[in-house]
Amino acid sequence: MIRRITVLLLFLGITALSAAEFRMAQLFSDHMVLQRDKFVTVWGWGNPGEWVTVEFAGQKVSTQCNNQGAWYAVLQPMAASSEPRKMLVYGSDQPVCKKQRWVEINDILVGEVWLGSGQSNMALTVNKCLNPEVEKANAKYPLIREFHEWSSTSSEARLDSTGKWTPCSPETVSSFSGALYFMARELHQKLGVPIGIINSSVGGTGIEYWMRTEAQMHDPAIRDNLIRAQNDFKNLNYEKRQEKYEAEIAAWNTEVQKAQAEGKPLPPKPKDWFWIYTIYKTQGPPAGLFNGKIAPLIPYALRGIVWYQGEANCSPERSKLYGDHLQLLISDWRKLWREELPFLYVQLPGYKSENGEWWPYVREGQLKALSLTKTGMITTLDIGENDDIHP
């Protein structure tokens, strides 16, 4: 197992941030929840060759920084615990650590940890859900904690996160992912253990941007789509595209006047370029969201993954490929975590959309992903709202 973790960390490019720093990855911070009943990998950075010792819950594990200053250690599986505990990590220039410098992490629980990702349906916060004031007043669940991954898109795999763990309370729950919070609340009430939720999501984003470039290039069915997306991003030019959009609007206005004069149906209005431009800038290059918001989380121990996305792929060029994309994303993320993690996802809801003709293709692709083991699809066709894309 240790050899496999070493290969994984090298694959993700986890190297030294600075020779002078001694620190843990940001995921390992106050109020965190560790996964119960599994080996737990912890990692961080120090000086090349520096000896590191991790102490937690009666365990003491020592390791050494590699030539780039990166280190990792593996804790043995632990039972669930609601007792707030402390982790002490210290470094020394000698095998017998003298605590020359250290990091202390407080209020750590052990329970179930789920990663949630996708677009705006996953990102939608509790304060935008139904009856937000009631939900906030009742959110007295200090054993539920959310880690919000704030990192942005990146052209290369990011080394560390920028988020923090936040215990659930009436004062904090407003900014929690609604989908993840309600899931965590249900799990906590039924299992009686602490629940950690990791929210790494961005509204309006396509599935291709949450997948490694290497994985997409090795799949013939979606390679052409990746190349097209790469070219689209490469040729992104706001000024030139805005000029083209203004010309399209001028031509559309002329056609509207003509149609009105002749009593004919009005022509469709060109899609707003600024919105499209903003989405491209948010997603970054293909694989940009994987690099920026998923890579820093690997190999944090999880119980499973929840995926809530698909609307952004409802287009002529992309909808029929969604099943291939989703199955590849599931397989590749499992490969990177070195575990066949349970993968749950939400099928597109009922919604009246101007591009609704492409939604059935995405739903069909989501259905096909059930052919993979340990997957589960949550059907929302019967609870969608006709005029709101966020049921």
The model's pLDDT over 131-140, given as tens digits with 9 standing for 90+, comes to: 999 999 999 9
For tokens 């602490």, what's the residue? Answer: 194
Taking residues 316-332, what's their average pLDDT? 94
Q: What are phi and psi of 362, to 5 degrees?
A: -65, -45
Q: Which helix (H) or strand (E) holds 5?
A: helix 2-11
- Which pLDDT band holds residue 94 (cuts at 50, 70, 90)? confident
pLDDT of 64 above 80: yes
Note the pLDDT tens digit of each residue in 219-244.
887 887 778 777 777 666 556 666 77
pLDDT of 295 above 80: yes
> What residue type is assigned to position 15 of the chain?
T
Cβ neighbours around 41 below 10 Å, total: 20
**Residues for the chain: how many in total?**
391
Higher-confidence residue: 286 or 177? Answer: 177
Note the pLDDT tens digit of each residue in 325-358.
999 999 999 999 999 999 999 999 876 665 568 8
Q: What percent of the chain has pLDDT over 70?
A: 84
Q: What percent of the chain has pLDDT over 90?
A: 64
pTM check: above 0.75: yes
Nearest CA among 345, 321, 317 for reference residue 333: 345
Domains and CATH numbers, the chain: 2-212+287-309 (2.60.40.10), 234-280 (no CATH)
pLDDT of 385 above 80: no
CB 80 within 8 A of CB 193: yes
DSSP codes joined into one string, 195-247: EEEEEEE-TT--GGGGS-HHHHHT-HHHHHHHHHHHHHHHT--HHHHHHHHHH
pLDDT of 123 above 60: yes
**End-to-end CA gap in the chain:** 42
How confident is the model at residue 284, as a pLDDT? Answer: 67
Q: What DSSP designation does 177 have?
A: B
Taking residues 379-386, what's their average pLDDT? 73
How confident is the model at residue 236, as a pLDDT? Answer: 60
DSSP codes joined into one string, 11-38: HTT---S-TT--EE-TTSSTT-EEETTS
Taking residues 2-28, what's their average pLDDT? 64
Nearest CA among 315, 369, 329, 324 for reference residue 346: 369
Q: Of 73-77, 242-246, 266-270, 331-335, which gets the smallest average pLDDT?
A: 242-246
